[in-house]
Structure 1
Amino acid sequence: MEDSTSFITVITEVCLASLQASLVPKGSDKLKRRARIPDKPNYSLNLWSIMKNCIGRELSKIPMPVNFNEPLSMLQRLTEDLEYHHLLDKAVHCSSSVEQMCLVAAFSVSSYSTTVHRIAKPFNPMLGETYELDRLEDMGLRSLCEQVSHHPPSAAHYAFSKNGWSLWQEITIASKFRGKYISIMPLGAIHLEFQASGNHYVWRKSTSTVHNIIVGKLWIDQSGDIEIVNHKTNDRCQVKFVPYSYFSKEAARKVTGVVSDSQGKAHYVLSGSWDEQMECSKIVQSSPSSPSSDGKQKTVYQTLPAKLLWRKYPLPENAENMYYFSELALTLNEPEGGVAPTDTRLRPDQRLMEEGCWTGPPRRSSGWRRKQPLSRRRRLEICAPGRTEKESDGYAPLWFEKRLDPLTRETAYVYKGGYWEAKEKQDWHMCPNIF
């Protein structure tokens, strides 16, 4: 299949009675969720003074001041991927696999919409830290994340919906300072399966880049090509995150894509931006164009008028003073009863930061933070010679286990069950004391 940017679209004028946006209103939660958090204190940060000695280094191993963080953990940021879950709820009812692919692609792009103003880094989770999102009543889903490795930092995630889909992933974050910018590379495959059809999608995340580390206002960009594959039908979607260029005429944060069937025939063109919206246009005819000045030939797609797949929710009022959190993000660290004792909501340094006590965490949390290196030391003592901490049998996640992925041929942590049953019984005797 040709590169996703090597095409030109021509809209065919037709009269369509229904080009309504496939937007689903957000559900009305029976529980009253909070709509704000304390304003972010106005502390200045000289990022260059911290980063100048870190060029080429893995940033997860470098201590950062608390005011470089936002009061959410990486586990909660992974959970934010589910904000536009209604796209998957809608995709359940698609009779066409290529139409379903359009919604899955829009869902994959929507997970980046929260990053456009979110320059601060999330807290690095403790080993064994968990985060649950139990929103079965209003969102129709339950989600669980667990930090399964500390070095390198790796988190496993599993979510299921009563509407007929499940999603799982193990993501390892690799981040390096390149001199003028920071590259953040999430490694690992994302799986999505629809129970009724058996359609099983797999894709990976794009690279995030934080610019203007030395001087100027920090800003973030997404770049790279991702391929979404339906392993049941072999339908494919090539998605391109177009990197920003000062010399380019392309719109900022542009995303393009083409959905093709197992025979390589293109059915839909995708277009939009990762911070605003995505549209799809049905292809009615395709033909090669004349070669351009550089000798490259593009495919001309004649399409029907575009249909809106997804549009970003507006940010809450005063979001600029609340870390630019979305409505969902504002609720993620809200205290909640009945969660596991390892849940991020119970983490003291992050709670203090959310409350605006930025000078508190390093001083008041030193005792519990010392537990992590001590626990790691015990694990390393029982490691076999030549084995790393992650390979050691001295530590095993509670809720996830390592298995060979038959589709990617990689080993990954997948949910083994038991968490929600333990919550129902309020039996957490197996949980480590990490806080």
Structure 2
Amino acid sequence: SDHFKGWLWKWTNYIKGYQRRWFVLSNGLLSYYRSQAEMAHTCRGTINLAGSFIVTEDSCNFMISNGGTQTFHLKASSEVERQRWITALELAKAKATRFTESDDSSDEDSLVKNDLRNTLRALVGKLDDLATCNDLISKHGGALQRALSDLESIENNLISQNDSPALSSRIKTVNERATLFRITSTAMINACSDFLQLAQNQGKRWHKAIIHEREQRLRLEETVETLAKQHNTLERALHAGTGPPRPDPSNKDDESKQTNEIASDDEDEFVDASDKGFTTEFVKDHRKTPSTASSSSIDANNASVVLNTANVSDKSDPDKIIRERRSRIPDKPNYSVNLWSIMKNCIGKDLSKIPMPVNFNEPLSMLQRLGEDLEYSDILDRAEKCATSQEQMAHPFNPLLGETFELDRRSDLGFKMICEQVSHHPPAAMHVDSANVSENSGWSYWEEITLVSKFRGKYLNVAPTGVVHLKFHKSGNYYTWRKVTTTVHNIIVGKLWVDQSGDAEVVNHTTGDRCKHKYFAYSYFSRETPRKVSGVVQDAKGIAHYVMSGTWDSYMECAKIVTTNNANKSKPLYKTLPSKRLWQVHPLPVGADKMYFLTKLAVTLNEMETGIAPTDSRFRPDQRVMEEGNWDLANDLKQRLEDAQRSRRKRREAAIAMGQEVEPYKPVWFEPQKCQFSGEVTHVYKNSYWESKKAQNWSACPTIF
């Protein structure tokens, strides 16, 4: 059964340690209270078992975590009691997972739906009882009617023949039939009474619950809206006095420290035996520059190095000409916005399906943001030259319908990229080739990104789905992996900060090598380094070759393993050579705090190019005026573009409803194919965009702007 309750010891913090709490498992949710009496009015915490994992730590201890913001460290009174809980939790998790696979509603909606299902089952059972009684009444009523007819005919005959024994027998039969009918009727009346009583009680219960939830929601909205107004007032006063502050994602607000009751995860995947082996030597950037370039200059803000294209020898090949890229965009205007008035109706919903004002955006489209994955494309150039597949794997690879975005940076960064929005909502498909790509050299990188987002009031979860593909053509090494979950905290009140959490596994399908990364979720009580990432590179036989360590926002290092001590199989000890730094974050441009904190590459993404497709994101009028600082006009233009797209979609749906033959929408530059490794259908590049650009043939492009 998925209903279970009892006392457990829960880890709270380092001061109070384990505290005795009353836990209740119901409908896939594990909730706890300080006492049984609290169940009527106060719940101290709840974790949804769907998508969570349960880990047994020792004879009495176990842990439940959703891989993100919630982790319960629990202790039972005995090993038998712990096993009872583990069994009940696993069963409830299996049921909850089945119920929530296609359920995009919030946790509260799921609870109501489960309660409704249980009540409907009871009502259906009572209805079956009524149907059975109805059949019996019909059967016995018909028999009683026939008996009465026979009695009437016999009575007429007896009057003439004076045969009293036959009359007594018939009367006895009639009495039996009448008794059966009376019993069945009584049973039916009782079933109807039970049915009515159950319906009335449940109706009162739902009515009270709805009133209570409505009152709680109203009070919560009033409280949060008051806090949001106070926050906005303080923020405007701060801007007026000192100018806009630069956000520091490493500092968490005091409120999150006081309310966060997440226990630390002390389990490491490895221990590096050579603490003194770390080196501070940075890998030099080896991005391509033409050997014949005669002069270079640094712009006024020291934000980028600009080469003089007038002296490039081969002007006939535009791919070899390095153009001067911009290093600034107009400053972000100081617009104040009441976030709560916009976000309060989005709680528990998929934000990718909700129109948002430009106030929440950077002046970049979703397709252009995919280009930010290539901020460190030089890592792939270095990985291509690695001597072994294990060393290659140690390099960290992952740092409007019909709309497209191209990024041709072969001349300076060594790659070209094309993206396309292939459906009304994500996914968006992307394909990247290195400048020297061929059957025997270079690399290709492609992915289809779909985002599943949930806004929970205080934080926003964004879970990318889909598989990322990377192929090195010379060695034939073919890698795939999935990205981890991103959580944005303090959406309404406090300083925004971002966290990455979860497990990611890079697989080399050519050799069988694997690299398992763990992104540690931030916890105020954890002793781990904030934003820590660790990993181990293993070959097809499971032998470890490299260990990796670092943080996802600063640097990553790897160390080659010399020997392995497997005395503790769950936590082996590795002796390593000195570490080598593989990746170091690039510093932000000067004045980034006034430019949405865009990186050097991101600043150039919306810069206008010549010869690009008419569907390119750079032609979006709302995005262009937003970058120029006119947010009011940008919101108006964004609304018009979205209304026009909805109108086109409704016309197609109306034509289909009228029985007209309408050809399904097909992307221009990508086509659906089944992945040979994951079995999923993804959109793959058709190798036609750059040829169309060279010929300036854009006849296949739809009109979207």
Shift of 1:364: 4.1
Partner SS, residue 418 of structure 2: strand
Take 1:181 and 1:415, find their aligned partners in 2: how far apart are those partners?
35
Distance in 1 (CA, whole Å) between partners of 2:626 and 2:687 is: 33
CA distance in 1, matches of 2:570, 2:531: 24
C-alpha displacement of 1:97: 0.4
RMSD over aligned Cα atoms: 2.3
Q: Deviations over 1:85-129 (max 9, x none)?
A: 1111111111200000011xx231xx2xxxxxxxxxxxxxx1000
Q: Does 1:24 align with 2:285?
A: yes
With over 3 angstroms needed to count, the CA separation of the structure-2 counterparts of 1:86 and 1:157, relative to structure 1, is same
Q: Is the 8 A contact 1:23 1:311 kept in 2?
A: no
Paired with 2:516 and 2:637, the residues of 1 have a C-alpha distance of 49
What is the identity percentage for the equivalent residue pairs of Structure 1 and Structure 2? 55
Match of 1:401 in 2: 671
- 1:17-416 mapped onto 2 (5 Å cutoff): 20-27=281-288, 30-103=322-395, 106-108=396-398, 111=399, 126-151=400-425, 153-163=426-436, 164-288=442-566, 297-364=570-637, 366-381=639-654, 383=656, 393-416=663-686
Q: CA deviation at 1:367?
A: 4.2
SS class of match (2:364): strand
The answer to whether the 8 Å contact 1:45/1:68 transfers is no
TM-score for the superposition, normalised by structure 1: 0.88
Aligned 8 A contact 1:4 1:256 in 2: no
The SS at the match of 2:362 is strand
- Determine if contact 1:4/1:257 at 8 Å carries over to the other structure: no
| Greater relative CO, 1 or 2 (CA 8 Å, sep 6+) | 1
Distance 1:134 1:368 in 2: 27
Q: Which amino acid is the alignment partner of residue 284 of structure 2? A: L
Instruction: Check the 8 A contact 1:270/1:278 in 2, yes or no.
Output: yes
State the shift of 1:379 in Å. 3.0
- Please report how far the alpha carbon of residue 143 of structure 1 lies from its aligned counterpart in structure 2 after TM superposition: 0.2
Change over 3 Å in CA distance of 1:366–1:68 after alignment to 2: closer
Secondary structure at the aligned position of 2:481 is classed as strand
In structure 2, distance between residues paired with 1:236 and 1:397: 34
Of Structure 1 and Structure 2, the greater strand share is in 1
Q: CA deviation at 1:342?
A: 0.1
Once residues 553 and 516 of structure 2 are traced to their aligned partners in structure 1, the CA distance between those partners, rounded to angstroms, is 19
In structure 2, C-alpha distance between the alignment counterparts of 1:351 and 1:36, rounded to whole Å: 14
Relative distance call for 1:242 and 1:53 in structure 2 (3 A) is same
Q: CA deviation at 1:410?
A: 0.6
Q: Residue 195 of structure 2 aligns with which residue?
A: none
Contact 2:269 2:534 in 1 (8 A): no
Cα deviation for residue 156 of structure 1 reads 0.3
Counterparts of 2:344 and 2:387, CA distance in 1: 54
What TM-score does the superposition give when structure 2 sets the normalisation length?
0.55
CA contact (8 A) 1:70 1:323 kept: yes
Q: 2:703 maps to which residue? A: 433
8 Å CA contact 2:402, 2:704 repeated in 1: yes
Could you tell me whether the CA contact under 8 Å between 2:332 and 2:596 is conserved in 1? Answer: yes
Larger Cα Rg: Structure 1 or Structure 2? 2
Q: 5+ residue gaps in structure 1?
A: 112-125, 291-295, 386-391
Contact 1:22/1:308 (<8 A) preserved: yes
1:134-183, CA deviations, whole angstroms, 9 ceiling, x for partnerless residues?
112112211000000113x2100000013400001011111111232100
Cα distance per residue 1:263-303 (max 9 Å; x no partner): 0000110001111110001111111456xxxxx94211111
Q: Residue type matched to 2:428 in 1? A: A
User: Is the 1:156–1:171 contact (alpha carbons within 8 Å) kept by the matching residues of 2?
Assistant: yes
Does structure 2 conserve the Cα–Cα contact (< 8 Å) formed by 1:130 and 1:144? yes
Post-superposition CA distance 1:3-22 (Å, at most 9, x none): 993321111878x9x98533
Which of the pair is proportionally richer in helix? 2
Alpha-carbon separation, structure 2, partners of 1:357 and 1:288: 62
- Which residues of structure 2 form unaligned runs of 5+? 1-265, 290-306, 308-321, 437-441
Aligned residue in 2 for 1:119: none
Which string of whole-angstrom CA distances, capped at 9 and with x for unpartnered residues, describes residues 198-253 of structure 1?
00000011100000123211111100000000000010000011110010011111
Residues 37, 322 of structure 1: 8 Å contact kept: yes
Number of equivalenced pairs:
402
